[in-house]
Amino acid sequence: MANGIGLEDPELSALIDGQLGVVSAAQAVSCGLSRETMRRRVLRGLWQRMTPGVYALQSGPPSRLQWLIAAQLYAGEDSVLTGRSALRVYDIETRDIETRDIETRGVETHGVEVRGFEVAGRRVGAPDLHALVPHRTRRRNLERLRITRTTRVPQPAQIGVLRVAPLARSVLDCCLAAVEDGDVAAVDRVVTAAFADGRVQLAELEYELGLAPRRHSGRLRAELAKSKAHARAVATRALLERLRVSGPRGAQYEVSVFLNRTLLAQAVAVWPRRAVVAVVDAVESEIRSLSLLGFAVVQLTARRIEQDLAGVLGHVGEVLADRPEATLPAGVSMFPRARTYSAGAAFEPAGRAQRVLTASSPARTGISNVLPLGGTGQT
């Protein structure tokens, strides 16, 4: 490629080939090329100025991969591509990211998947590009390039010649940028596409979101909460089906546990004779309250149930086998979960709600009216 434009310097030739014909002015000058030479080549139409100080050494339209390289060169050596730019590199399909077939014309892609990065045969503007730069870096936004200054530049993944933010961070930045631009509907599409791809987990997005600024993050927090609720419902349904068919006997399923008139927790299953309760993705306050009352709490997660349901059932059986018989403590009641309650809310009977168990109807009498202190079984 370099020989075709008359650049004979071996170092510059290798640089141009490695960067698919995109080079910064600083790189060219360091290899001995004068700025006047670069200016003349642009004026003659042999080169194109893609961003301030970055050139495509060709007269035809740059590919989208070349635009990504140009964005990276403009943003600086400490920059990391993120957001929509990174999702395209990771090949995450979303309905709001239009893709087209690529014609590479035999250009070496250096291991980067570039499907959808080029529109052959006609000139296109730069795609929506997004780069993270250290907070001290002085770079300005361009027409189609978003520069985000941050104190939390992630360790990038090196994909070909590109430095790309981890997938969870890229999804987060794409969603935050969409909200900032007023396209809140894109958040659902991006999150749905990311989960459907399977390479990013809900816990990873929650972790990244916990470190992100709260500005513009409300919609994403709501979407993750909705996704988490859906995952929990699916996992709970699968667990209940297996418990009812082949689980340990003596269980009450889908139970609301109350102390006096205050809801403590929503349980997937309770084994009253052993004072064992199984909960899915319960909050710490619920687990602590149940434990202080003497319940052995089997903490389950939707992800673990999805990945190893047989192992979860085995763990429940082990906890039950290690528990002595017990009597429910005074003030504890359990009701079928026929309606939705909020933790800490007072119970108001609806119609003729049937109470399942109370302290006055012990599971096994003659031992104690107070349960032994319970442990927690985690999985």
More confident: 104 or 147: 147
**277 and 352: one domain?**
yes
**12 and 158: one domain?**
yes
- Stretch 208-220: mean pLDDT: 81
Per-residue pLDDT at 187 exceeds 70? yes
Per-residue pLDDT at 96 exceeds 60? no
- Bridge partners (DSSP) of residue 132 are 80, 148
Separation between Cα atoms, residue 255 and residue 270, nearest integer Å:
7
**167 and 248: one domain?**
no
Are the CB atoms for 179 and 162 separated by under 8 Å?
no
Least confident residue range of 173-182, 267-276, 323-332: 323-332
- Stretch 145-159: mean pLDDT: 93
**111 and 18: one domain?**
yes
Alpha carbon 298 to its chain's center: 26
CA distances from 245 to 234, 272, 313 (A): 17, 19, 11
More confident: 55 or 351: 55
Are the CB atoms for 48 and 125 separated by under 8 Å?
no
Are the CB atoms for 163 and 61 separated by under 8 Å?
no
**345 and 247: one domain?**
yes
More confident: 43 or 371: 43
Question: 262: which 2 tokens?
Answer: 């205050």
User: Does pTM top 0.75 for this prediction?
Assistant: no
Q: Across 149-158, 243-252, 370-379, which has the greatest mean pLDDT? A: 149-158
- Stretch 130-159: mean pLDDT: 92
Q: Which domain holds residue 30?
A: 3-171
- Stretch 264-290: mean pLDDT: 89
Report residue 235's pLDDT band, with 50, 70 and 90 as the boundaries.
confident
Report residue 109's pLDDT band, with 50, 70 and 90 as the boundaries.
very low
What is the reported pLDDT for 226?
78
Separation between Cα atoms, residue 366 and residue 379, nearest integer Å:
33
Amino acid residing at 344: G
Residue 255 falls within a domain, yes or no?
A: yes
**242 and 167: one domain?**
no
Per-residue pLDDT at 338 exceeds 80? no
CA distances from 5 to 27, 37, 41, 354 (A): 16, 12, 10, 85
**163 and 47: one domain?**
yes
- What would the pLDDT profile of 166-176 be if each residue is shown by its tens digit? 999 999 999 88
Residues of the chain above pLDDT 70, percent? 77
Residue 186 falls within a domain, yes or no?
A: no
- Stretch 312-333: mean pLDDT: 87
Residue 183 falls within a domain, yes or no?
A: no
In the listed set 171, 191, 221, which residue is the last one of a domain according to the structure? 171
- What would the pLDDT profile of 61-87 be if each residue is shown by its tens digit? 999 899 999 999 999 999 999 999 999
Q: Rounded to the nearest 5°, which phi and psi values hold at 174?
A: -65, -45
**137 and 261: one domain?**
no
Report residue 94's pLDDT band, with 50, 70 and 90 as the boundaries.
low
Q: Rounded to the nearest 5°, which phi and psi values hold at 322?
A: -90, -5
Question: 19: which 2 tokens?
Answer: 């960067």
**151 and 247: one domain?**
no
In the listed set 142, 171, 200, which residue is the last one of a domain according to the structure? 171
* Gap between the terminal Cα atoms of the chain: 57
Range list of β-strands (E), the chain: 22-24, 48-51, 54-56, 80-81, 129-134, 145-150, 157-159, 162-164, 252-259, 262-271, 276-280, 296-300, 332-336, 376-378
**273 and 369: one domain?**
yes
Nearest to 324 by CA among 367, 378, 291, 359: 367
Tally of structural domains, the chain: 2
Separation between Cα atoms, residue 374 and residue 291, nearest integer Å:
5
More confident: 331 or 106: 331
Residue 323 falls within a domain, yes or no?
A: yes
Report residue 106's pLDDT band, with 50, 70 and 90 as the boundaries.
very low
Residue with tokens 């096994």: 364
Q: Taken in order 39, 41, 43, 45, is the CA torsion positive or negative?
A: negative
Q: How many CA atoms lie within 13 A of 160 on its CB side?
A: 21
Least confident residue range of 66-75, 89-98, 267-276, 312-321: 89-98
Separation between Cα atoms, residue 208 and residue 121, nearest integer Å:
40
- Stretch 309-320: mean pLDDT: 91
H/E element holding 309? Answer: helix 309-321
Question: 356: which 2 tokens?
Answer: 């399942």
Residue 362 falls within a domain, yes or no?
A: yes
* Orientation of helix 218-246 relative to helix 167-180, angle to 10°: 130
Q: Across 62-76, 87-101, 174-188, 324-338, which has the greatest mean pLDDT? A: 62-76
More confident: 183 or 26: 26
**27 and 163: one domain?**
yes
In the listed set 134, 152, 171, which residue is the last one of a domain according to the structure? 171
**289 and 156: one domain?**
no
